[in-house]
Amino acid sequence: MSNVIRTIVNDYSWIHLSLGLLGNITFFVGSILFLPQFEPYKTFAVWLFISGSFLMLIGSTGRLLVDLWEPEGI
């Protein structure tokens, strides 16, 4: 199972970057929805914060695994 995970992490590392970018966009939109004129959307903004933070966490964890498993000097 470890080899399968290692292959996915190394061969599809672009997924980690995409998840992180999507998380940042989600977090940014959530931030905008906290402005006073968007008061009715505050609960939705909180969920955007939570989901954006989670996507950034997954992206960063994947990037960490790539950096740990990648041979040095390549």
28 neighbors 37 (Cβ within 8 angstroms): no
pLDDT score of 9 more than 60:
yes
pLDDT higher than threshold 80 for residue 39: yes
Cβ–Cβ < 8 Å for 33, 1 = no
Q: Outline where 1-74 has alpha helix (H).
A: 2-11, 14-32, 42-69
Based on its alpha-carbon atoms, the radius of gyration of the chain, rounded to whole angstroms, reads 16
Mean per-residue pLDDT of the chain: 86
Q: Domain extents for the chain?
A: 2-69
Q: What confidence category does residue 49 fall into, taking pLDDT thresholds of 50, 70 and 90? A: very high
pTM of the model: 0.75
Q: Determine the Cα–Cα distance for residues 71 and 68; give it in Å rounded to an integer.
A: 8
Q: How confident is the model at residue 41 (pLDDT cuts 50, 70, 90)?
A: very high
Of 13-17, 27-31, 47-51, give the lowest mean pLDDT range. Answer: 13-17
User: Using an 8 Å Cβ cutoff, are 52 and 27 in contact?
Assistant: yes
